[in-house]
Amino acid sequence: MSLFSRLFGPPPPPPVKIVYRKRGTLLVEGGVIIVDEDGHVIPLRPTRQPGTVKLCGCGKSKEKPYCDGSHKL
């Protein structure tokens, strides 16, 4: 453990980045936990880009809260 870590603790995690795309997809980059309105954790889906989650922002997805590309139709 470094002297800095002993004095100040571990560095904070990087902030979560959310990218809104005009067509409806919300790209969430960073460590996230997705929870439904009842407080139940929704398992993360495997993605091509580890650490990135695509959420539906248009309301058309059949796999909500995840984007299934329905906004393209």
Q: What is the pLDDT of residue 37?
A: 94
Judge whether 27 lies within some domain: yes
- pTM, rounded to two decimals: 0.73
Judge whether 48 lies within some domain: yes
- Domain span holding position 26: 18-34+41-57
pLDDT in tens, 23-48: 788 999 988 999 999 999 999 988 88
Judge whether 62 lies within some domain: no
CA atoms of 7 and 22, how far apart (whole Å): 45
Q: How many domains does the chain have?
A: 1
**pLDDT interval class at 10 (50, 70, 90):** confident
